[in-house]
Amino acid sequence: MGEIMRLSRYFMPTLRENPAEAQIVSHRLMLRAGMIRQSSAGIYSWLPLGFRVLKKIENIVREEQDAAGCQELLMPTIQPADLWRESGRYDDYGKEMLRITDRHDRDMLFGPTNEELITDIFRNSVKSYRDLPRLLYHIQWKFRDEVRPRFGIMRGREFLMKDSYSFDLDYEGARRAYNKMFVAYLRTFARMGLKAIPMAADTGPIGGDLSHEFIILADTGESEVFCHADYLDFDPMMSGVDYEDDLQPIVDEWTRLYAATDEMHDPVAFAEQVPEDKALHTRGIEVGHIFYFGAKYSEAMGATVQQADGTEVPVEMGSYGIGVSRLVGAIIEASHDDAGIIWPEAVAPFRVGLINLKVDDSATRETCERLYAELSAKGMDVLYDDTDVRAGVKFATSELIGTPWQLVVGPRGVASGLVELRSRDGDVNEEISIDAAVTRVSG
């Protein structure tokens, strides 16, 4: 059964005017649509509408991680400082780390990331090469004490993140894990209606080519992007992908063309490798990052396994992050108009906005109740606007919150056996029969 809610009972405190503190589109629209409210600088409460979107994004991320062979666990938000001292990052991390002392004077911290904790779990649990490889992930709240949090959830201090970690015996195994995550990320973002382009990222002192940021194109993005326009025609879903196959050809295909943010951009290489009519210079938003870091943490923290010949070696590791809460804002930045949000169907809080134009008319109300029941039986999530306000207010609310489909029911149409069907993207606006409308929006 789908979930249907009546707007008259739904907690959705919308705003008519743009909040003065909101500098970018996603922040303005999330506040106006009643998705979030600020608790303190860079920290937000997620209200019912926003939380529905957050959970839908989280579920897509989870499904694609599971499909790639990742196993989910859950690590705590509060971590012991001693683990970070082992890795050498406790003092290096700086003021972005929120440090805490508990009642027993033990140094703790609110985790900004989880490499140390997952390495500790691994080293205390795995001792033999026979137990490799392993891919583990969790979806958990993180905290980084940004000096100037801004842009709403796009650059907040508290955020929800999926971080996964791979453990392998050697570089070849680590590369296979990296490729699995590379392909899983392409599919994950595509399912959300996004075209994410992998772009080479800085590998730091480790070197090599195993570090990529996944960037979605958006005019309001924080990064400049330079890439080959053919990326826009690539198919990221790649139906029939087998994660046990050799995925290197897929990775090679997605990295053969030029793609870089301003930090890694080489103007000479861009001019040489990309024809002028295919050169795309725009802006983008980072929504994911995958990174191989070898034995950086396993050597520092003693995460070793015994090989077949009895010798001990540190495991090869990688980390793979997706900003789950950040994606809510990123999708809005990439998909909106002057009236409000345009949600891709997979992440929309409700698939259908059912609008009753005359709540005191019995025939109109009965038709809405019928649609209400039939859509529910087909598994549709519906927000039923049964409020007693002007039609213009109803339409403005529906467009602001971005339901992909609107079913408009009024006395004139009901008398003819018709309802008005509108798509939020503007491609559909027609009067059709009730049965046809149900079929159309549930197809």
Burial 423-441 (b: 16+ CB within 10 A, else e): bbeeeeeeebebeebbeeb
Whether 320 is covered by a domain: the verdict is: yes
pLDDT at 291 exceeding the cut of 70: yes
Per-residue pLDDT, 239: 79
Q: Which residue has the tokens 């508990």?
A: 102
Residues 232 and 364 in one domain: no
Residues 321 and 363 in one domain: no
- Could you give the number of structural domains in the chain? 2
Per-residue pLDDT, 148: 85
In the predicted model, what is the mean pLDDT of residues 271-292?
A: 96
Per-residue pLDDT, 150: 85
Residues 306 and 436 in one domain: no
Residues 368 and 320 in one domain: no
pLDDT at 292 exceeding the cut of 80: yes
Whether 30 is covered by a domain: the verdict is: no
Using the 3D structure, point to which of 315, 341, 367 is the last residue of a domain. 341
Residues 49-96: pLDDT tens digits?
999 999 999 999 999 999 999 999 999 999 999 999 999 999 988 899
For residue 133, cis peptide bond before it (omega within 30 degrees of 0): yes
Residue at 317: amino acid letter: M
Whether 218 is covered by a domain: the verdict is: yes
Residues 176-222: pLDDT tens digits?
999 999 999 999 999 999 999 999 888 765 555 689 999 999 888 88
Residues 332 and 354 in one domain: no
Whether 203 is covered by a domain: the verdict is: yes
CATH classification of the domain holding 404: 3.40.50.800
* 345 CB neighbour count, 10 Å cutoff: 13
Whether 44 is covered by a domain: the verdict is: yes
Residues 394 and 321 in one domain: no
Starting at the edge strand found earlier in the chain, the sheet holding 98-101 runs: 78-80, 107-110, 98-101
Residues 360 and 329 in one domain: no
Q: Indicate the pTM of the whole model.
A: 0.95
* Domain coverage including residue 427: 4-9+350-442
CATH classification of the domain holding 144: 3.30.930.10
Q: Are 247 and 176 in contact (CB under 8 A)?
A: yes
Residues 316-370: pLDDT tens digits?
999 999 999 999 999 999 999 999 999 999 999 999 999 999 999 999 999 999 9
DSSP track, 3-30: -EEEGGGS-----SS--TT--SHHHHHH
Tell me which H or E stretch contains 353.
strand 352-356
Residues 336 and 365 in one domain: no
Whether 18 is covered by a domain: the verdict is: no
Sign of the dihedral defined by the CA atoms of residues 306, 307, 313, 319, in that order: negative
Mean pLDDT of the chain: 94
Residues 230 and 322 in one domain: yes
Whether 16 is covered by a domain: the verdict is: no
Tell me which H or E stretch contains 188.
helix 171-191
Q: Are 300 and 314 in contact (CB under 8 A)?
A: no
Whether 20 is covered by a domain: the verdict is: no
Using the 3D structure, point to which of 341, 358, 384 is the last residue of a domain. 341
Using the 3D structure, point to which of 341, 368, 393 is the last residue of a domain. 341
Residues 328 and 387 in one domain: no
Starting at the edge strand found earlier in the chain, the sheet holding 405-409 runs: 4-6, 382-385, 352-356, 405-409, 418-423, 429-433
Residues 255 and 383 in one domain: no
3-state secondary structure (DSSP) of residue 153: helix
Q: Are 68 and 181 in contact (CB under 8 A)?
A: yes
More confident residue, 22 or 181: 181
Residues 122 and 93 in one domain: yes
Per-residue pLDDT, 2: 52
